[in-house]
Structure 1
């Protein structure tokens, strides 16, 4: 039984974030153990074929080998997300900056897999683990995760929206207690069989709560260089994640116009004008004009993060899409 101990400063520094790097690694592991990830079987059937033979199979063999063991990627090498809307390139850079001693400790802590004929094992050449792992994860992201990222991210954003409403209505302790059935709050401690047994108190750094579509239990990602640790937990309401989604209904296109209907359908997860232009094929100017109309109608809302504005469908916009 492991635990995380909170202080008053830790509760004040609690935040949410999404980690595309964690999702990529966890997705790779889901393919190797589909029985534990039944909800993802439609995606697993497509993703599993990508790793068979060819160049992608060779490039993604490091995450397949490392995620097959419980300790390495789970919390010893993958960094905690630094910001709520992290990009995978930022997280890969943080991974590559892992101190060498931490890499050696992680390799030593993981049982060495039996020989499979697939070449040398990571422990035989630890200096090359991080570059190979980063390249493999990036290849797997591009081929198997990125094409589906908007819908995955929308599900994770919906989980965060649910938790923040719960925070407003019932308080932080209810949020922490509801993250997972195995997670139990006991005073200033969170206890679970899934947490590391040797965990120290957070020491005022805070904690980042990170929902995951592919996690089957809670994990802790260690913080480093001022970044607080992250508690990864399984996101809720994933039953319809892989349902077949047709193009926007003609009735909605007749109501809003086809371009605005397409834009509204793309705002299930926070997106910038540049991202929306790339997804829809519209010019930046056209996207901005249509977004202004959708915003004035109460169908989308914009939130500034750093130097960008991210647009998301409002409850009214989501209801309109659902009815369509």
Structure 2
């Protein structure tokens, strides 16, 4: 089963980071043990919050192949605020809420729904408020405390892929998103648990990295939403890993702090993200990055509003190629 997107010569691709989308992906992860491998430290950290949250309404509609689109609308811009995304959910027309909840629940349960599921379909206004409130609670308890770390991984992925786009073109980006994504100009095929087709015109295709989507890929193809592909972000293997000491020889050559920073630059990272990762003040990181950049070991590029630091080939050699 696969979804296909036909692109045109005027089609553009843009990237976005969605706090709401990460929240819904995290909720889905809770019901899929195959997605939890990289996230055990996070699961242990949020266990007390999970004991206090009532996720029943969300889990009724978020554990299946098709999830209601109105709960995770693609963002209009590159980095919306969670409050704006939740406001959009709460403004969803009632008819759409009823239709999408009915499609989701009847697909899973058949014609006869269990009473809790039937109540969501019968009272869409109440269901919309309940689901939005539950998503907001999930954001506050499960995602917000770790959002700077998550956002830095997502931004690093975008920095890497926009670099690939500039160097090698769109085909190189699309063929490297995920093993389930295939590009045969002008058709992009995504193997998922559904069939469908969408013509992608000037409005463009939204590419959205996710820290919680691994090992799967997700799509949104129905009108009126922009066609969207969620894919696993680069760098999630080290997302929750504690900082490790750099090689002793590298520390003797550069000094301990600079060696720590160079070894930690496994993905494009902001100054703030690198400081958080290494447990150092921003001012200290900025000072040492200047020295590493002057030595040709680190390169700095602007991606949108952010500066991203990466190791140069020489810097990667010195760290042992990791």
Q: TM-score, normalised to structure 1's length?
A: 0.71
d(CA) in 2 for partners of 1:181 and 1:246? 30
Structure 1 residue 233, shift from structure 2 partner: 3.0
d(CA) in 2 for partners of 1:241 and 1:33? 21
Change (3 A) 1:3 1:110: same
Residues 218 and 231 in structure 2, CA contact (< 8 A), matched pair in contact too: yes
d(CA) in 2 for partners of 1:200 and 1:255? 55
Change (3 A) 1:191 1:323: closer
Match of 2:65 among 67, 70, 74: 70
Instruction: Look up the match of 1:7.
Output: 8
Q: CA RMSD in A?
A: 4.3
Instruction: Look up the match of 1:248.
Output: 245
Corresponding position: 1:100 with 2:92 = yes
The alignment covers a number of residue pairs equal to 307
Structure 1 segment 298-317 matched on structure 2, within 5 A: 298-317=296-315
Q: TM-score, normalised to structure 2's length?
A: 0.71
Structure 1 residue 322, shift from structure 2 partner: 4.7
d(CA) in 2 for partners of 1:122 and 1:185? 38
Residues 174 and 183 in structure 2, CA contact (< 8 A), matched pair in contact too: yes
Residues 180 and 190 in structure 2, CA contact (< 8 A), matched pair in contact too: yes
Instruction: Look up the match of 2:218.
Output: 219
Instruction: Look up the match of 2:259.
Output: 261
d(CA) in 1 for partners of 2:27 and 2:265? 27
Change (3 A) 1:322 1:17: farther
Instruction: Look up the match of 1:109.
Output: 103
Secondary structure in 2 aligned to 1:5? strand
d(CA) in 1 for partners of 2:83 and 2:105? 25
Structure 1 residue 248, shift from structure 2 partner: 2.1
Structure 1 residue 47, shift from structure 2 partner: 5.8
Alignment gaps of 5+ in structure 2: none
Secondary structure in 1 aligned to 2:301? strand
Change (3 A) 1:275 1:115: same
Instruction: Look up the match of 1:229.
Output: 227
Residues 102 and 121 in structure 2, CA contact (< 8 A), matched pair in contact too: no
Instruction: Look up the match of 1:293.
Output: 291
Structure 1 residue 296, shift from structure 2 partner: 0.9
Secondary structure in 1 aligned to 2:199? coil
Alignment gaps of 5+ in structure 1: none
